């Protein structure tokens, strides 16, 4: 991942703290990398 994509993912993860479903989806997606 380039820096911009990494920062975007971190931003999404921070925002997903209030949305367990989205957070779980991101965790699953990252686990497939």
- What pLDDT sits at residue 5? 82
Residue 18 to residue 4: CA distance in whole angstroms: 23
Question: Which residues are CB-contacts of 25 (< 8 A; sequence separation ≥ 6)?
Answer: none
DSSP 32: T
In which region does residue 31 sit, left (phi positive, over 0), alpha (psi from -120 to 50) or beta (all else)?
alpha
Residue 2 to residue 4: CA distance in whole angstroms: 6
* pLDDT tens per residue, range 1-33: 567 888 888 787 777 566 778 778 878 888 876
């Amino acid at each position: 991942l380039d820096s911009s994509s990494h920062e975007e993912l971190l931003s999404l993860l921070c925002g997903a703290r209030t949305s367990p479903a989205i957070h779980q989806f991101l965790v699953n997606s990252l686990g497939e990398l």
